[in-house]
Amino acid sequence: MVLEHFSEKASALITPVNIGIVSISREEFIAIDTGIDNSALNKVIKQTGKKPRIVLITHHHSDHMGGARKYCGKLSVFCPQGELGLIRNPIMEPSMFFGGVPPNALRNKYLMAKPCSEAIPFNSHLLNDFGITLIPTPGHSTDLHSVMVEDVIFASDSFLPAEIIERHSLLFLTNPKQALASMERILGHNPSVIIPGHGTPIEDKKVMKETIAITEEHIQHVKTTLVEVIGERNTLESTVKESLKRILGETTLDEFPLWRYFLNRHVIFNYISELEREKLITLELDDQIIWLRLE
């Protein structure tokens, strides 16, 4: 875990889940996300000698808010309005993936953080007083917000570097079209550095533009694969199975735990919804089987 400084006020602890740090005094800082547990923020406290005054949660995924429970009721924990329900009631996340009350395999720290019932919506006026600007950047999740301090943008999972795309093969996106628009919105703020939720911070303007192009290529690859599969195998479940096999590789699929299957299936469902919105496919129910048809 390395603490990197990007401006007088903005720093980040570079870990598997990057933690943003906004220095507001000699004694205090504002944390942007917590990581999956308290270990990252404990490291920041030890390295800086400061304590968090406010915790900002960019979105509800457990790897970004898992450590927030420790601070709920003790500090102000702010989050986007559209993420609030899932942060207060994390069981909604695996329930959404499963389509009902989730089985035990989906009730784990990767899908279900401990609830932060005292979390409240962002207070823009208060945060502006600390030099913080909130940028709506949905696409990875419904109401993810990036955080801008001076000309440094903590983009969370709305702007992931090429190394992360290559490693995972299938980005988790709730709305691919929104995701690309959010990346362009971030670039429009002319940041000196973009700190992603995972991976290496991006300081080169050319690399920022290339990252958007790589993400767009990734999204198009997934959509093209889905259209090809739908043309060959028309049921919903067979489309999910075959498209994941082609995108991730059959060997990789066999190594996944059950909860990862539901996570990946959810992503494919989101792409199917986008293809329907674009009027490229239709969904039909026939004899209790969901069929996908190319338009």
Q: Are strands 132-136 and 145-149 parallel, antiparallel or unpaired?
A: antiparallel
Structure tokens at 260: 């990862």
Co-location of 94 and 226 in the same domain: no
Backbone angle region of 169, left / alpha / beta, with phi > 0 → left and psi within -120 to 50 → alpha: left
The span from the CA of 16 to the CA of 22, in Å, is 19
Co-location of 122 and 237 in the same domain: no
Residues 6+ apart with CB under 8 A from 207: none
Co-location of 147 and 36 in the same domain: yes
Co-location of 193 and 223 in the same domain: no
Find the DSSP H helices in the chain: 39-48, 62-65, 84-88, 92-98, 124-129, 162-168, 176-188, 205-232, 236-248, 250-255, 258-277
Co-location of 168 and 288 in the same domain: no
> Residue 32's beta-bridge partner residues?
20, 56
What is the number of other CB atoms lying within 10 angstroms of the CB of residue 193?
20
Co-location of 44 and 189 in the same domain: yes
End-to-end Cα separation, the chain, in angstroms: 50
- Looking at 145, 175, 204, the residue that finishes a domain is 204
Per the structure, the complete domain to which residue 221 belongs is given by 216-294
User: Is residue 16 included in any domain, yes or no?
Assistant: yes
Co-location of 159 and 120 in the same domain: yes
Co-location of 187 and 125 in the same domain: yes
Co-location of 20 and 160 in the same domain: yes
- Looking at 150, 182, 204, the residue that finishes a domain is 204
User: Is residue 61 included in any domain, yes or no?
Assistant: yes
Co-location of 66 and 146 in the same domain: yes
What secondary structure letter does DSSP report for 106? G
> pLDDT 10s digit of each residue in the chain, 295 long?
789 999 999 999 999 999 999 999 999 999 999 999 999 999 999 999 999 999 999 999 999 999 999 999 999 999 999 999 999 999 999 999 999 999 999 999 999 999 999 999 999 999 999 999 999 999 999 999 999 999 999 999 999 999 999 988 899 999 999 999 999 999 999 999 999 999 999 999 999 999 999 999 999 999 999 999 999 978 999 999 999 999 998 766 778 899 999 999 999 999 999 999 999 999 999 999 999 999 8
Co-location of 194 and 262 in the same domain: no
pLDDT at residue 234, as a whole number: 84
pTM for the whole thing? 0.95
* φ and ψ of 11, to 5 deg: -140, 170
- Looking at 173, 204, 235, the residue that finishes a domain is 204
Number of domains present in the structure of the chain: 2
User: Is residue 97 included in any domain, yes or no?
Assistant: yes
Co-location of 109 and 197 in the same domain: yes
User: Is residue 210 included in any domain, yes or no?
Assistant: no
pLDDT at residue 41, as a whole number: 94
CATH code: domain of residue 184: 3.60.15.10
pLDDT at residue 139, as a whole number: 98
User: Is residue 211 included in any domain, yes or no?
Assistant: no
What secondary structure letter does DSSP report for 123? -
CATH code: domain of residue 266: 1.10.10
User: Is residue 108 included in any domain, yes or no?
Assistant: yes
User: Is residue 209 included in any domain, yes or no?
Assistant: no
Look at residues 77, 51, 50 and name the one whose alpha carbon lies nearest to residue 66.
77
User: Is residue 138 included in any domain, yes or no?
Assistant: yes
